[in-house]
Amino acid sequence: MVLFPPATCPRLIVKIGSALLVDPDGGVRRAWLAGIAADIAERARAGQQVAVVSSGAIALGARRLGLPKGGRASLEDAQAAAATGQIALSQVWAETLGAEGLTAAQILVTLDDLEDRRRYLNAAATLDRLLGLGVVPVLNENDSVATAEIRFGDNDRLAARVAQAAGAQGVVLLSDIDGLYDRNPALPGAVHIGRVERIDGTIEAMADRGSASGMGSGGMVSKIAAARIANAAGANLAIASGRIERPLSTAARHTVFVAEKSAPARKAWLAGGLTTRGTIHVDAGAAKALRGGASLLAAGATRVEGDFRRGDLVAICADDGRTLARGLAEYDVTEAGLITGRRSGDLAGILGYAPRAALVHRNHMALL
């Protein structure tokens, strides 16, 4: 089966890892990339709108600057390599897509661009306009200004967030592996998993943190995290090998993570959030109530952590540490700590003012 045919997937996001685009010596694999461009052009003629999330800037820049360890020896080296390599990367994409009669556009984003609601909506509007004009947006994390603390860290999750912003129905992560296996595929007896209907603890346990090439930053753990984000937004996600020619038009083995029913846009954005300001831990009764669609009340909370203010994104976790939901806090961390575990009738006396309805209201919460 060809991945996400145009008839069933009007918008598609394709992520390409560094090891596919750049050879071990730091040069662009132009012949392979020309095949990708031909695939995209074929899909565009069939009416599909395609955006690309492309790694490779650091690897290309490291070669030009002569930096050790592929430009990843330090944050400063990575930023310098990214700044240098991004020019080369955008030029290669413009030339390769241009040879197929397509126009490329470059978009560089930081984590904050997609975590801040207003900036996220601006990015979504730009993507929508470019795709509507028949342009192929080529996106990458802005590694030249990203810090170790505030960055995606891998383009797998970036691709899923871009899919969410673009309203895409499908995401393809082209990698150096052809999908998910029940254990490290290098081990004897490893079994390929072709379809995942639900991401649970069993699926997460199959993830292997290794990257076969050593050039990229995303292993299977990041790909499953990306699948969660994409699926919550209503997009199917496939992990497929890019170690073949024309991978978007060739029927080959892959793993598809099947999307849930699409959530409302705001809740999908909340579910895909990667940076939380704190954590609210809840008891078993509250966890059950949340799964039934209830708000999180103070009585069901057991403790709070972090440094959050009202309106910040927080994680809601069960006693065993599992993240149950993400939502916007109705109180800051100090007030939340004061009312944790207390009944609604006690809150006014503790706070000195009329309390809000919940610690996290269901309208501002997304279950995971």
271 in the same domain as 208: no
Give pLDDT, residue 211: 44
216 in the same domain as 129: yes
1 inside domain: no
Q: Which domain holds residue 128?
A: 6-261
296 in the same domain as 163: no
242 carries a ligand binding annotation: no
Q: Give me the average pLDDT of each 10-residue run along the chain (368 residues).
A: 87 94 90 97 97 93 90 88 93 98 95 82 90 96 70 83 92 93 87 92 74 51 90 92 94 90 68 81 93 91 91 88 87 93 90 86 82
285 carries a ligand binding annotation: no
Number of domains forming the structure of the chain: 2
143 carries a ligand binding annotation: yes
262 carries a ligand binding annotation: no
Give pLDDT, residue 91: 96
45 in the same domain as 149: yes
221 carries a ligand binding annotation: yes
Give pLDDT, residue 264: 66
Give pLDDT, residue 354: 80
271 in the same domain as 238: no
Q: Model's pTM, two decimal places?
A: 0.78
Q: Which of 227, 261, 295 is the last residue of a domain?
A: 261
Q: Which of 261, 278, 306 is the last residue of a domain?
A: 261
303 inside domain: yes
Place of tokens 């943190």: 209
322 in the same domain as 187: no
Residue 303: strand, helix, or coil: strand
326 in the same domain as 257: no
Give pLDDT, residue 357: 80
Domain containing residue 119: CATH number = 3.40.1160.10
Nearest to 54 by CA among 31, 88, 6, 4: 88
Q: Tell me the two tokens of residue 290.
A: 């949340």
Q: How far apart are CA 225 and CA 227, in angstroms?
A: 5
204 in the same domain as 349: no
155 carries a ligand binding annotation: yes
284 in the same domain as 191: no
Give pLDDT, residue 215: 39
Q: Which of 226, 261, 296 is the last residue of a domain?
A: 261
Give pLDDT, residue 263: 62
Q: How many CB atoms lie within 10 A of CB 330?
A: 21
211 carries a ligand binding annotation: no
Place of tokens 């403790």: 303
